[in-house]
Amino acid sequence: MINIDWKKLVFGYTKTNYNVRCYYRDGKWGSLELSSSETINIHIAATALHYGQEAFEGLKAFMGKDGKVRVFRWEENAKRLHRSAEGILMAPVPEELFQKALFKVIKHNKDFIPPYGSGASLYIRPLLIGSGAQVGVKPANEYLFVMFVTPVGPYFKEGFNPVDIQIVRDFDRAAPLGTGHLKVGGNYAASLRAGVRAHDEGFASALFLDAKTKTYIDEAGPANFFGIANGKYITPDSTSILPSITNMSLQTLATEMGLHVEKRHITLEELAQFEEVGACGTAAVISPIKKILDRDSNRVFEYCKDGKAGPISTKLYQTLQGIQFGDIEDKYNWITFVD
Ligand code: PLP
Ligand code: COI
């Protein structure tokens, strides 16, 4: 019997029973293996270790009131992993293999899906790595695709309570023509120093600006940024941010709520005009932001003056989570049931 205090879960790793693995060798994918080991055996010259040839994904499964398990928009994660693989010359994972792995790993870890009402969910982490040996800077000719799961609570300890974030100029997460639009490990390595410093200085996350001109909002650490002003949902258009599936879904919901969606450059000056701002992603869902500090000028932008998330962010959050947990009709076919 497992013994987890679901309500106290944070966003972290909890050991589960199984993970699944599949190897790409001799130009083809092999069979999908179920494993109870938490480790992988890897060649010391694997390209993932030396040259960062690796990509990952993050998606969630939710337990509904009806006892059914719902996965949110997995096809979009499969497509994004495909783009990441192509972007750094790895063997792409076919959509059927992604789906097979997903269903298998969830079914074999059913006991780890947090119960309805706990607010927690099952985070699914697909990982694709160059496992073949190279010493020259070249793509591997062997790959390993792994999928593991872990039950999680909120990404930021504040949950849906507003957080403070910090604008940084002395670090970039990704270059305009780099790999910021792909979910590859190097972007996260590049974001660590700014992220850890932000935490140490009392902020939930760093807010990166566009690397070239430092004039526009790029990404809020591991999440996309959005602002609400005058009936508009505004989110950055940038080649260096990850196209967030949560953000894409919020844009649909915002349109349905009668908001006008704008995807365009957002200047720092505009931060003063927003009525609400937030960070969004699979892990965070929506994290309302109450304060943005410009670390260089000390300028402060404040929101949520009553200490609570604004009405539009709240409605977007409740609608998205309602669909994910099965309390609100899934009009857009975002949910796949796993039985
Ligand atoms: N931006 C970055 C850098 C991320 O790592 C993530 C997480 O996947 C997101 C945004 C949010 O994307 P999604 O909503 O698809 O999880
Ligand atoms: C997300 O899934 O939203 C993420 O930001 C993933 C993160 C833990 C790297």
User: For residue 156, which ligand has an atom nearest its CA?
Assistant: 2
pLDDT at 13: 96
pLDDT at 127: 98
Domain 6-152 sits in CATH at: 3.30.470.10
Ligand 1 near 224 CB (within 6 A): yes
Ligand 2 near 154 CB (within 6 A): no
**Closest residue by Cα to residue 240 from 149, 329, 179:** 179
Q: Which of 54, 122, 124, 155 to mutate to test the pocket of ligand 2 (most atoms within 8 A of CB)?
A: 155
Pick the CATH number of 163-325 from 3.20.10.10, 1.10.3720.10, 2.60.40.1930, 3.40.50.970: 3.20.10.10
Ligand 2 near 282 CB (within 6 A): yes
User: How do strand 335-338 and strand 69-72 relate by DSSP bridges?
Assistant: antiparallel
DSSP 209: B
CB atoms near residue 98 (< 10 Å): 24
Q: Is the Cβ–Cβ distance between 142 and 32 less than 8 Å?
A: no
Low-confidence ranges of the chain (pLDDT < 70): 1
pLDDT at 300: 98
- 141 CA to middle of ligand 1, Å? 28
CB-based contacts of 228: which residues, under 8 Å, 6+ apart? 234, 259, 274, 275, 276, 277, 310, 312, 313
**Closest residue by Cα to residue 307 from 284, 288, 286, 285:** 288
Nearest residue by C-alpha to atom 9 in ligand 2: 222
For the chain, first and last CA: distance in Å? 21
Q: Domain-by-domain residue ranges, the chain?
A: 6-152, 163-325
For residue 164, the SS3 value is: strand
Rounded Cα–Cα distance for residues 49 and 77 (Å): 23
Per the listing, tokens 């750094």 go with: 88
pLDDT at 2: 82
Q: Which of 125, 241, 242 to mutate to test the pocket of ligand 1 (most atoms within 8 A of CB)?
A: 242
User: For residue 283, which ligand has an atom nearest its CA?
Assistant: 2
pLDDT at 67: 97
User: How do strand 232-235 and strand 260-263 relate by DSSP bridges?
Assistant: parallel
pLDDT at 235: 98
The catalytic site residues sit at 183
Q: Is the Cβ–Cβ distance between 156 and 204 less than 8 Å?
A: yes
Rounded Cα–Cα distance for residues 97 and 81 (Å): 12
pLDDT at 156: 77
Catalogue the long-range contacts made by 95-99 (C-beta closer than 8 Å, 24 or more residues apart): 97/22, 97/29, 97/32, 97/145, 98/74, 98/126, 99/74
Ligand 1 near 245 CB (within 6 A): yes
pTM of the model: 0.97
pLDDT at 157: 74
